[in-house]
Chains A and B, each alone.
Chain A
Amino acid sequence: MRRLLLATLLVVLMAQAGIASTILIINNDGANEGFNDPTPAAPVGGNPGTTVGAQRLNVFQHAANIWGGLLPSTITIRVAAQFNALTCTSTSAVLGSAGPVTVVRDFPGAEVPGTWYHIALANKLSASDLSPGNDINATFNSSLNGSAGCLGGTGWYYGFDGNEGSNIELLPVVLHELGHGLGFSTLVGSNGGQLQGAPDLYETFIRDNTQNKTWDQLTAQQRATSAVNTGNVVWNGFFVGAHAPFTLGGTPKLYTNSPASLPDVMALGRASFGAAIDETGVTGNVVLVNDGTGTTSDGCEPLINGGAISGNIALIDRGTCAFTLKALAAQNAGAIAVIIANNVAGPANELGGSDPSVVIPVVSVSQSDGNLIKAELGGGVNVTLALDPDDLAGADANGRVQLYAPNPYESGSSISHWDTPAFPDLLMEPFINDALSSDVDLTLAAFTDLGWLDNLPTGVPPGRRNVVALSNYPNPFNPLTTIRYEVSPAQDVTLSIYDVNGGLVRSFGRAAKVQGVRETQWDGRDNRGVAVASGVYYARLSTPQQTLTRKIVLLK
């Protein structure tokens, strides 16, 4: 719900502010091919095109409009797009590719010197077309047209409504790949080397928690090592950190109420079916199922202890039958939730499968935790299954969102993606979720860190907004800038200055019951009175309900 509110708020605010850029799809295809394919097609899923080519073009422009509605630029962004016959076998295919046509550094308006920028962002920051021509390449596969030799006849789905069935919806793939072309990608090679020996902007936001440095501060060897430092490589930007709590969900955990001999907290695996677990959670006594056959605790045959299960949390061993069948059997017996204990060593596993008729929460525990619980069942075990809202799924202990760094390398390995534990799924994860076709989620915050936007309000519903303005002048400044804000109704506010890594630079303290317009001057000095270096800083104004940020540039 928070995510929906945030998305709604952003759309409203962007529309009110008139923030937008024009992203043009440049049709690079020849006659009767690709975007010009004249094959008749019936309008589908909101796509009004009446030929295959027109529908393809509509999808591209739809994705371009989504990004264009969010990213401000006075310079038109040109996407050179084409459909070509790319690789396709009976089981695998290239869907398409995208990336910047040109990269540029040390241009007028560059906020970080000596650093490669994707051309579309550089054009925006310099307010000029630094490299007239196309800004993004996008080449997609025309072979996915239903022919039997390619993926057994699987084809593109050109609707906007997510009803792709067994086909592949084009929109989320284009939206994802354009995200890379707009700036969500590094230019670092797989050996850790930098392009022409210079860092790229994305790289400056990649932080290795083990080495305590960002990638631009590492050697090539250290970057290569970092690329497989699973769970310890994070996005080090202010806005992503600020927005993560409004985008990512908490982590489901098992809290033991009794007996005291059990660990207080156990890790849980999520299920792709059943009810979501919230922060309130489900509390109940744990009862091991018994189906009276073979492994009696696997719940694959009709339960014979349904009476004991009713009103309680069913514990079921993994094995023999599908997770959905186990959950359904427990639900039918009256269980209020299901815990499936892994039957192999390792962590609590994710539970796959789909069955809309399962409406109670379903989770898993590791084999070892399952054994601990079983050992105490004789005396009674009472637990709560709930989300820990402070342990964000896909973020480190400091709330910094993790980047994809699997060890060993896996297919899809690329640091230019969020990590897979992120929940809910994010647009820029390496495993593209074809249900994500309109929400760019945390990537907009990353683009704000990269410089596409000056600030990004956090996700408070409009009806609850209290702070109505935050600005500063002059900006850029030297040596003094005035930070102006307006608050209504009266409330406590805290104003601070942070650097681009989220480090506190200057605190102006907390003011009680502020109402109306207030101004505070910042002299470019930190809390110790030391003049800070030229660069980008963020003014952060917090109230009990909301946090606003504004980018401030100190130029000496």
Chain B
Amino acid sequence: MIRPHLPRVSIQHLVFAIAGLGLVCMAGDIDPLPPSHTPATAPGTAVMRARLNQETGTIDVGASSAAAQFDPDTEQALRRDAAGLTEVRRPDGTVLLDLQGRFQSVAMVHRRADGKLLICTDNEVRAQDALHGDLPAATTPEVK
């Protein structure tokens, strides 16, 4: 399997990154941290997750089953922070930014009694909702 080299961040790194959140937010930057950026885990392994609660400003850390986790490719695709991204400036004024596999759109499918539902999102929390079947009822019209 050939994968692009992607930077991996441990939970300890995540905590340090969170410590710098205020500055990042004041700079008007993109999402302040990888919402749930965790190392790859073996299937069935329980892992710790850390996430900034956007409403309270606190950090939610807790255990969840590996079933709630995305694979590393998808975790990276759903990242919308700029941490570690480096602009390349050329003499003619051109500015390039390699997104390192972030800022992707992710298609998902969920099966339920009335059929399968395909969705696309670029938001990690919304993707987690879809993974757990927390889907809006209105998307599939009721049949009676």
User: B-contacting residues of A (Cβ < 8 Å)?
Assistant: 28-30, 33-34, 80, 82, 84-87, 89, 91-108, 116, 119, 130-131, 137, 139, 151-152, 154, 166, 168, 173, 176-177, 180-181, 185, 187-191, 193-197, 220, 272, 318-324, 349-353, 406, 409-414, 416-417, 420, 430-434
Contacts and interface: CB of A to CB of B under 8 A. Distances in A.
A410 B139 CA distance: 10
Nearest to B70: A87
B141 A351 contact: yes
Contacts of B131: 87, 89, 92, 94
Given A190-B31, A406-B136, A98 B96 contact: no
29 contacts: A28-B2, A28-B4, A33-B1, A87-B70, A87-B74, A94-B131, A95-B109, A97-B77, A97-B78, A99-B99, A99-B103, A100-B99, A103-B99, A103-B103, A139-B77, A180-B122, A187-B30, A189-B29, A189-B30, A189-B31, A193-B28, A350-B142, A410-B126, A410-B136, A412-B135, A414-B120, A414-B121, A414-B123, A430-B119
B64 interface: no
B120 A412 contact: yes
Given A84-B1, A196-B82, A94 B97 contact: no
Contacts of A351: 141, 143
Contacts of A431: 117-120, 139
A84 B3 contact: yes
A177 B28 contact: no
A130 B96 contact: yes
B142 A352 contact: yes
B107 A195 contact: no
Given A101-B98, A116-B97, A431-B117, A93 B31 contact: no
Contacts, number: 256
> Main SS of the interface on chain A?
loop
A191 B54 contact: yes
B69 A177 contact: no
Contacts of A98: 104-105
Residue from B126, B134, B138 with most neighbouring chain A CB atoms (10 Å) = B126
A194 B28 CA distance: 7
B107 to A, nearest CB: 4
Nearest to A186: B122
A28 B1 CA distance: 9
A168 B93 contact: no
Contact of B95 (A87, A106, A108, A350): A106
B13 interface: no
B111 to A, nearest CB: 5
B111 A92 contact: yes
B59 interface: no
Contacts of B1: 29-30, 33-34, 84
Contacts of A130: 94, 96
A106 B93 contact: yes
Contacts of B73: 84, 86, 97, 139
